[in-house]
Structure 1
């Protein structure tokens, strides 16, 4: 993409995410998925990685997606319509041990069925907490997505908590981790919901999937 094309994508993304964003559905079971009408992008990651905070930052709203300091708060697939051009899907987090096993198993089944069976899903933003880097359950998620050819892109969250040297090391390590993964997009987006870092870039990338 040329610099002028990228500038146009950033501006389109800004306008898209500044427009209306409406709650569509909270889906606890796969049979209650909304009908396919638009392209979808989903946000996945470990519990408390900042998925809901990132969705709020992208849309410029403070309460669109429910946030909490309590891991495991998001317990269903939450769908939001972005100007009737793109659906954003906030997914339950994984790896939170204190969730009852039966509940965790139910979440896992819903997520599994959604990710491998949703024809309108174009990309998964796989969020990784920059303070901790890629963990085993992140690698497990990458393995699952690779095996099922579900395209995903790493988005580092909470980058404002890192020093510059730590950030450089993290980017190098993360790039090495995904270098041979067939379903991983090679570009890593570094973000902070607190400072707004990386938000314009992520808006631009996701805007490429929006309906014309």
Structure 2
């Protein structure tokens, strides 16, 4: 179990595979850099960025899934810790942001789909929803995607959402390019969920 969570009553968590751009996204949203390892899987503890006055925290959870040079037992432990963290704090989480790589996510999901296997991204999306945590899929690196609508529709299908993808914005699907500074769709999603939770005092963080 991760320790040292700030005692805050409202939280947004960021989850996703390694190398999908979560730290870059956090920097865009907060204006602060977050330490990352030189290779995937080095970060094993959450990065918190909190505002005491508003009783609110952004939490970037460690990346999961395949990581070069990281053994399977360690990968599974990280995933278990992420799941337990979300489960333990679900009542405080206003949104769970699943960050995926728009260019590779379909291939990754299809590669790990089988009779005895559920892809991590799909599993985590449904896990958030089962906990009644509003799930937002931040589809990152969309600047590298040519077939935007086709790709987003395919992602919706694999998540069990009916296309077209546009009917799921802003509350569930948010196409972004964090490295380009284009995170407006995610901010709109978070504004939607903050308002739904009667936390309009937090809207200033996602203008």
Q: Determine which of 104, 127, 131 is the counterpart of 1:132.
A: 104
* Pairwise CA distance, 1:31: 4.6
Q: In structure 2, what is the equivalent of residue 112 of structure 1?
A: 83
Q: Which residue is 1:168 aligned to?
A: 149
Q: Is the 8 A contact 1:48 1:71 kept in 2?
A: yes
2:133 corresponds, among 147, 150, 170, to 150
The higher relative CO (CA closer than 8 Å, separation ≥ 6) is in 1
Say whether the 8 Å CA contact 1:40–1:123 is kept in structure 2. yes
- Structure 1 window deviating more from structure 2 (187-196 vs 144-153): it is 144-153
Per the TM alignment, residue 83 of structure 1 is displaced from its structure 2 partner at its CA by 7.0
How much does 1:191 deviate?
0.8
Tell me how many residue pairs correspond in the alignment.
175
The gaps in structure 2 that reach 5 residues or longer are 110-118, 202-207
SS in 1 for 2:12: strand
| C-alpha distance in 2 between matches for 1:120 and 1:141 | 18
**Counterpart for residue 122 of structure 1:** 94
Aligned-pair distance for 1:69?
Answer: 5.9
Report matched runs for 1:43-122 at 5 Å.
43-61=14-32, 63=33, 65-67=34-36, 70-82=39-51, 84-85=53-54, 86-97=56-67, 98-118=69-89, 119-122=91-94
Contact 1:38–1:84 (CA under 8 A) maintained in structure 2: no
Taking the aligned partners of 2:6 and 2:70, their CA distance within structure 1 comes to 26
Match of 1:196 among 157, 181, 193: 181
Query: Which TM-score applies when normalising by structure 1?
Result: 0.71
TM-score, length basis structure 2: 0.72
Work out whether residues 28 and 181 of structure 2, in 8 Å CA contact, stay in contact via their aligned partners in 1: yes
Following the alignment from structure 2 to structure 1, what is the Cα–Cα distance between the partners of residues 87 and 28? 27
1:82/1:130 CA distance change after superposition, 3 Å: farther
1:130-174 CA-to-partner distances (Å, cap 9, x unmatched) read: 1112422211222333443332111111111122xx212111112
RMSD after superposition? 2.5
Residue 206 of structure 1 pairs with residue 190 of structure 2: yes
- The answer to whether the 8 Å contact 1:133/1:170 transfers is no
**Alpha-carbon shift at residue 52 of structure 1 (Å):** 0.4
